[in-house]
Structure formats: structure tokens, C-alpha cells
């Protein structure tokens, strides 16, 4: 488990597993093909979708340090400039020229025929009408107001620190009533905690280290879930512990915690027959099909793994059931499936014990009301 990152896709919620060296790498989700970024346990960062590019600022009338305009090509400019607006033709110039020619000719003829005509005053020429005024230039439309900045997201490091503080208080609690102040769904979990304390000695849970393994954000509520890897003297490889954000603060998923801390799956598999139990497991197809893959022609088998080393078991399910169809599809092509299963411990007619998969209670390990 220390070399594998297990997390849920932030786009579709599918459970994924990656080698630790791919922490913080970006790539497509194999289920929904959306681009996602893998979590980084060492930096306390969870899986998330890539941030969108920053929007370009709106244009402004005065932009300092603007680039100089490109040089103008006379040839291209002559063709690129829009044509001048058409102007109303005026007859002032042709009339003026015609009048000047006629006056000149008449003056020459008159001076040659009658010298007195040469001293007559020149006629007053008509003044051409002025061109109509150009229409006023419309003022440019005002620039749109800049879009408001998105709200700043909470610092994931501060959030994980608050969740880790609640987890430490949960582990250090001297008894179950004190510990119940830090659990999810306390109304339903408290009776189970009290009953369990009568079977298993209650008290603080010593630990040697706590580190963030994964994180998940619920798209509906916006609440964050952290998965911490807690190393204890009894579980030196570490166990995953879910700490979720709730209206009352950060709370621990107690049923899953005691399941892993006390190795309840292994105790169930080694226990007496005719017992049932629910467990968080990693399901995969058997490594090699054949006679080892079935009790008889009516049953198929799957490998069950809790998140603890050396606990792998084989379990069986009827081939004609919906459970088998779901497990076969989820584990096709070597994929791993992380459901919550209800199991039963059975005995064959010959007295051999085996595990039977009774039902799939959930398709993921997200905390739920117990």
C-alpha cells in the first residue's frame, strides 16, 4: 500500500489506483476520459481537475508599453483603405469654367469691336453652394466592466491540518464516549461503539505516524474527505482512515477504522461457518482461470484483498447472478474494483469452508450512515 496511491476521480468519482511515482501527474481518467491530476500524498494535495487558463484581460483604450504598429506598405495600404464616402456631385466648377471661357471670349470680341466695352465692370459670378456638413462621428460604446475574480479556495494544507487534528483527538480519546464526539453519524454509530467496547477492550489507539494519502471533494455538498495513512504498532504497514468534513466539524469513519485496525476481515475468514459480515475490499479477477476458478460449473471466483498485506482470500459467487455480472465487468482486463461487500462463511458438503459473496452494498469506500 505504501507504493500505491488509491483515489477517486474528481470528475466522475471512479476509484483509481496508481504507482506512487505518478503522484501529481496529469492524465485522462480511464472511466470518463476527463483530464485529472493525481494526488500528491507527500505534499498533502488531493486529486483534482486541472485549473482552467486565466482569462485574458479586457481591452483598454490606453495600454502602456504597447507594441508599435507594423510598417505600412503603400501598395497594400492603397487597396486596404476603405473607399471615401460618396459626395453629392456639384456643378459649381463646370459652371465657373464655362462662365470664364464665355466671358473671356466676349471680352476679346468686345474690345476688338468696341473699345468702350473693354472698360465695362466684370459681372458678379455666382458663389458655389457649400458642401453639406459631415455626419457626426458616433462615440465608441463603453468598455464592459471586468468580470469579478472567482472566490479563493481554502488552502488544502490548512484543511488537512484541521482534519488531522481531529483524527489525533479521536485516536487519543481514553474511551468510547469521548471518542464518539469525533465520529460521523453519531446517532447510529454510538450504540455500535458501546456494543463493540464490550467485546474489544476500549482505550487510546497508539500510532507512530499519520500522513495524507488521498482527498476527495463531494460535488454536491462541497465537503472534503481526507484519507490518512495511520501507522500503528499492530499495523506497521499502516491502515487508511477516512476523515470527512461535516456540519459539526471533521469526523472519523469509525466502522471502517475498527474494521482495518482490528483486522476483522481476516478474523472472519478464519472464523466459524454460518457467519456473515460486511467489509471494504479490493476485488480482482483470479490470476488464472480453470478448475481453481470455480467450485463447480455454477460458481466463479474472485480475489478479495483488504488494504492490509498478506490477507488475500478467494471468494465465490453464482455465475447466473447479477452480482457476478457486476464483478466480472468491474474487474475486466485486470482492473481492480473497490466495493463494500457482504460475505458469508459457508461449508461444502465435504466439510471444506469457503467465502461466498452475498451482495454488493456499495461500489466505493465513501463513508455512509451505518
Which pLDDT tens digit goes with each residue over 292-317?
Answer: 444 567 889 999 999 999 999 999 99
38 and 168 share a domain?
yes
* In the predicted structure, residue 100 carries a pLDDT above the cut 60: no
The per-residue pLDDT for 75 is 47
* In the predicted structure, residue 212 carries a pLDDT above the cut 50: yes
Mean pLDDT is highest, among 51-55, 132-136, 266-270, for 266-270
Residue 207, H or E segment: none
162 and 254 share a domain?
yes
158 and 286 share a domain?
no
The per-residue pLDDT for 57 is 53
Residue with cell 482569462: 55
Q: Cβ distance 281 to 304 under 8 Å?
A: yes
Mean pLDDT, residues 48-68:
57
Q: Cβ distance 241 to 252 under 8 Å?
A: yes
253 and 285 share a domain?
no
Closest by CA position to 254, among listed 213, 195, 306, 338 = 195
Q: Which pairs count as long-range contacts for 303-307, CB under 8 Å and 24+ apart, including other chains?
A: 304/265, 304/279, 304/341, 304/343, 304/355, 305/281, 306/259, 306/260, 306/263, 306/265, 306/266, 306/279, 306/280, 306/281, 306/282, 307/1, 307/6, 307/239, 307/240, 307/260, 307/280, 307/282
Whether 239 is covered by a domain: the verdict is yes
Q: Cβ distance 157 to 212 under 8 Å?
A: no
* In the predicted structure, residue 122 carries a pLDDT above the cut 60: no
Whether 131 is covered by a domain: the verdict is no
Would you state the cell numbers that stand for residue 326, as one nine-digit string?
A: 457486476
The three-class DSSP label of residue 291 is helix
Phi, psi angles (nearest 5°) of residue 214: -160, 165
Q: How does pLDDT run across 312-368, given as a tens digit for each residue?
A: 999 999 999 999 999 999 999 999 999 999 999 999 888 899 999 999 999 999 887
Would you state the cell numbers that stand for residue 201, as one nine-digit string?
A: 477492550
27 and 158 share a domain?
yes
- Of residues 235 and 135, more confidence is placed in 235
Would you state the cell numbers that stand for residue 195, as one nine-digit string?
A: 456494543
Using CA atoms, how far residue 129 sits from 66, 94, 123, in Å, is 46, 13, 18
Q: What share of the chain is helix, strand, coil (3-state, %, to 5)?
A: 30, 25, 45
The per-residue pLDDT for 112 is 41
Domain that holds residue 318: 271-362
Mean pLDDT, residues 84-100:
40
Q: For the packed helices 254-261 and 186-197, what is the interaxial angle rounded to 10 degrees? A: 30
* In the predicted structure, residue 143 carries a pLDDT above the cut 80: no
The per-residue pLDDT for 33 is 86
340 and 358 share a domain?
yes
Domain count, the chain: 2
Whether 79 is covered by a domain: the verdict is no
Mean pLDDT, residues 207-217:
93
Would you state the cell numbers that stand for residue 40, as one nine-digit string?
A: 500528491
Whether 66 is covered by a domain: the verdict is no
Phi, psi angles (nearest 5°) of residue 42: -70, -30
- Boundary-marking domain end, from 212, 229, 261: 261
pLDDT band at 41 (very low <50, low <70, confident <90, very high): confident
Mean pLDDT is highest, among 103-112, 122-131, 142-151, for 142-151
The per-residue pLDDT for 94 is 38
34 and 174 share a domain?
yes
Q: Cβ distance 224 to 197 under 8 Å?
A: no
Whether 159 is covered by a domain: the verdict is yes
Mean pLDDT, residues 19-27:
85
30 and 164 share a domain?
yes
CATH number at residue 310: 2.40.50
The per-residue pLDDT for 114 is 43
The per-residue pLDDT for 43 is 83
- Of residues 100 and 40, more confidence is placed in 40
* In the predicted structure, residue 156 carries a pLDDT above the cut 80: no
Q: Which residues have CB under 8 Å from 255's CB, separation 6+?
A: 189, 192, 370
Mean pLDDT, residues 15-44:
86
Mean pLDDT, residues 115-139:
57
Whether 110 is covered by a domain: the verdict is no
Average pLDDT of the residues of the chain: 78
Q: What is the rounded distance in angstroms from the CA atom of residue 331 to the CA atom of residue 319?
A: 15
Q: Cβ distance 96 to 125 under 8 Å?
A: yes
- Boundary-marking domain end, from 237, 261, 285: 261
* In the predicted structure, residue 64 carries a pLDDT above the cut 50: no
pLDDT band at 288 (very low <50, low <70, confident <90, very high): low
Q: What is the rounded distance in angstroms from the CA atom of residue 211 to the CA atom of residue 367?
A: 19
The per-residue pLDDT for 131 is 67
DSSP 56: P
- Boundary-marking domain end, from 261, 284, 316: 261
Q: What is the rounded distance in angstroms from the CA atom of residue 83 to the CA atom of residue 360?
A: 76
Mean pLDDT is highest, among 13-17, 158-162, 312-316, for 312-316
Mean pLDDT, residues 74-91:
43
229 and 297 share a domain?
no
* In the predicted structure, residue 241 carries a pLDDT above the cut 70: yes
Phi, psi angles (nearest 5°) of residue 316: -125, 155
Whether 336 is covered by a domain: the verdict is yes
Q: What is the rounded distance in angstroms from the CA atom of residue 265 to the CA atom of residue 275?
A: 12
Amino acid at each position: 500500500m505504501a507504493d500505491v496511491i488509491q483515489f477517486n476521480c474528481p470528475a466522475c468519482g471512479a476509484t483509481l489506483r496508481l504507482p506512487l511515482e505518478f503522484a501529481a501527474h496529469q492524465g485522462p481518467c480511464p472511466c470518463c476520459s476527463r483530464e485529472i491530476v493525481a494526488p500528491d500524498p507527500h505534499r498533502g494535495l488531493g486529486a483534482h481537475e486541472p485549473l482552467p487558463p486565466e482569462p485574458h484581460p479586457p481591452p483598454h483604450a490606453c495600454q502602456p508599453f504597447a507594441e508599435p504598429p507594423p510598417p505600412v506598405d503603400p501598395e497594400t495600404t492603397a487597396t486596404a483603405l476603405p473607399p471615401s464616402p460618396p459626395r453629392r456631385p456639384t456643378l459649381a466648377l463646370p459652371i465657373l469654367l464655362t462662365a470664364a471661357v464665355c466671358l473671356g471670349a466676349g471680352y476679346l470680341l468686345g474690345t476688338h469691336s468696341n473699345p468702350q466695352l473693354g472698360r465695362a465692370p466684370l459681372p458678379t459670378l455666382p458663389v458655389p453652394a457649400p458642401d453639406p456638413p459631415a455626419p457626426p462621428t458616433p462615440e465608441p460604446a463603453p468598455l464592459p466592466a471586468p468580470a469579478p475574480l472567482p472566490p479563493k479556495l481554502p488552502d488544502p494544507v490548512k484543511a488537512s491540518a484541521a482534519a488531522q487534528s481531529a483524527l489525533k483527538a479521536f485516536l487519543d480519546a481514553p474511551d468510547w464516549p469521548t471518542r464518539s464526539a469525533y465520529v460521523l453519524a453519531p446517532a447510529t454509530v454510538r450504540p455500535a461503539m458501546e456494543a463493540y467496547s464490550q467485546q474489544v477492550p476500549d482505550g487510546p489507539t497508539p500510532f507512530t505516524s499519520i500522513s495524507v494519502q488521498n482527498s476527495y471533494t463531494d460535488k454536491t455538498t462541497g465537503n472534503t474527505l481526507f484519507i490518512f495513512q495511520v501507522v500503528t504498532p499492530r499495523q506497521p504497514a499502516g491502515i487508511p482512515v477516512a476523515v470527512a468534513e461535516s456540519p459539526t466539524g471533521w469526523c472519523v469513519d469509525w466502522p471502517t477504522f475498527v474494521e482495518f485496525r482490528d483486522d476483522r476481515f481476516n478474523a472472519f475468514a478464519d472464523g466459524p461457518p454460518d457467519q456473515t459480515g460486511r467489509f471494504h475490499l479490493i476485488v480482482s479477477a483470479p490470476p488464472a482461470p480453470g478448475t481453481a476458478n470455480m467450485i463447480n460449473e455454477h460458481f466463479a471466483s474472485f480475489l478479495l484483498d483488504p488494504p492490509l498485506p498478506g490477507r488475500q482470500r478467494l471468494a465465490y459467487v453464482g455465475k447466473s447472478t447479477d452480482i457476478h455480472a457486476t464483478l466480472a465487468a468491474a474487474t475486466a482486463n485486470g482492473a481492480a474494483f473497490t466495493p463494500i461487500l457482504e460475505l458469508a462463511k459457508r461449508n461444502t458438503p465435504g466439510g471444506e469452508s469457503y467465502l461466498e459473496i452475498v451482495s454488493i452494498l456499495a461500489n466505493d469506500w465513501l463513508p455512509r450512515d451505518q
